[in-house]
Chain A
């Protein structure tokens, strides 16, 4: 009997220690992320970043995304829905974190599509049809063209514009800012400069709700 007591006590002790260490580590990390985001506020938004929504919206979501990332594709419609549910209250800025192989080429194509005034259509088409141009977590830019043609984009022009130094600089800046803000996974969201305490759509919604309430109280 005594042996069983020791065994069960050990299991409980190990479980409690594991959960405690996990909680401690997570809260420590969340605190660190918040501090680093506050320190690097100027890295959050740059002039070149594509932005959608009302300019004086009280809540500003900055999303670091990789067009080839599956979770980004899954979350994008959810964020759009969140924006539709709170009209004129949320602004969205897209920053790039092309972590998948070949993804930087796709980002260049997106930025080139922007010159034709069809950035958001292009982004949505690429995210929706992601499975058709990503193979084994590798982005294949040549498979992207049919999707863009369907959106009425001039692919020949995109291929010509993709190589511009301006686009390369913008991507470089996004990567550097992502590094400064400790973005290691995509998608990463910042709501009015605050990072998610833990990844998840519910966490994003909660943070947006908090910031909306703050703005409503301020008015």
Chain B
């Protein structure tokens, strides 16, 4: 679209309409995964009544703003959204990784910051026999990180 390429030109992306489209699609997909994760977390917490443990809270803290940061960078596509979103996604990924290892028993519970309320090592939900909540979170953060890196690569081309 003529309008889109003017925008891209103005912002100095130097990308054609096709490449801008690919970058947008990656950023949009990242937003979609983040939005799905937030709604999933809200469903587990507010509807099903699972109390989030401390580590769950930290993952929520990194996941929830992604929905807004990414949405704000989509219209028109702002390539700098990667710069703002990636630190959140990377930090969330680290917490999710730690939580997954904790649930798997690889990291000892003593090393975890949980003392009161719901212990983080407690498995509250297991889908298909292996899919725990922290594992879903790790998967979501991994996909978001990959998509953000893809967005960065597409906008640089």
Interface residues of A, Cβ cutoff 8 Å to B: 1, 3-4, 6-7, 10-11, 14, 17-18, 21-22, 25-26, 184
Contact = CB atoms under 8 A, between A and B. Distances in A.
Contacts of B8: none
A3 B47 contact: no
A26 B47 contact: yes
A22 B28 contact: no
B28 A18 contact: no
B32 interface: yes
Contact of A3 (B32, B36, B75): B75
B75 A7 contact: yes
Main secondary structure of the interface of B (DSSP, over half): helix
A14 B43 contact: no
B43 A7 contact: no
Contacts, number: 31
Given A4-B75, A7-B75, A25 B48 contact: yes
Contacts of A17: 39
A24 to B, nearest CB: 10
Contacts of B49: 184
A21 B48 CA distance: 11
Nearest to A185: B49
Contacts of B32: 10
Given A4-B75, A10-B32, A22 B24 contact: no
B55 interface: no
Contacts of A21: 43, 47
Given A10-B32, A14-B36, A25 B47 contact: yes
B35 interface: yes
A3 B71 CA distance: 12
B74 interface: yes
Contact of B28 (A3, A14, A25): A3
B75 A18 contact: no
A14 B33 CA distance: 11
A7 B24 CA distance: 11
Given A10-B32, A14-B36, A25-B48, A3 B74 contact: yes
B47 A14 contact: no
Contacts of A7: 28, 71, 74-75
A27 to B, nearest CB: 12
A4 B35 CA distance: 16
A25 B28 CA distance: 29
A97 to B, nearest CB: 16
Contacts of A26: 47
A54 to B, nearest CB: 36
A156 to B, nearest CB: 36
Which of B1, B47, B48 gathers most chain A CB within 10 Å? B47
B44 to A, nearest CB: 11
